[in-house]
Amino acid sequence: MFNNTKYSDATILIHNVTLPVHKPVICIQSAYFEKAFQEAFVEGSSGVLTFNDGSGAAHWRVFEYLYTGDYSDDLSNDFEDDPPLLKDPRVYALADMFFLEDLKALSTAKLQLKLQDLWTSDSFPECVREIYASTPNSDRAMRSAVVEVARVHVRELGKKAIFKDLIREGGDFAVEYFESITFPAPLGVSKPFSTPNGFGTWS
Asked if residues 114 and 88 have their Cβ atoms less than 8 Å apart, the reply is yes
Mean pLDDT of the region 83-110: 98
Per the CB < 8 A criterion, the answer to whether 87 and 81 are in contact is: yes
76-80 LR contacts (CB < 8 Å, sep 24+):
77/17, 78/17, 79/14, 79/15, 79/17, 80/56
Predicted TM-score (pTM) of the model is 0.87
What confidence score (pLDDT) does residue 40 get?
Answer: 46
Task: Give the confidence band of 115 by pLDDT, cuts at 50, 70, 90.
Answer: very high
Q: b/e for 107-128, b at 16 or more Cβ within 10 A?
A: bbbbbbbbbeebbebeebbbbb
Q: How far is CA 133 from the centre of its chain?
A: 12
Closest to 16 measured CA to CA, from 44, 47, 53: 53
Residues 6+ apart with CB under 8 A from 122: 162
CA gap 65, 174 in Å, rounded: 33
pLDDT tops 80 at residue 192: no
List Cβ neighbours of 94 (8 Å cut-off, separation of 6 or more). 54, 58, 59, 62
- Indicate the helix (H) or strand (E) that contains 40: none
Q: Which sequence spans correspond to the domains of the chain?
A: 54-201
pLDDT of amino acid 12: 94
Measured distance CA(115)–CA(27) in Å, rounded:
33
Look at residue 78 in the predicted model and tell me its pLDDT: 78
- Average pLDDT for residues 8-14, to the nearest whole number? 93
φ and ψ at residue 190, rounded to 5 degrees: -95, 135
- Whole-number average pLDDT of the chain: 89
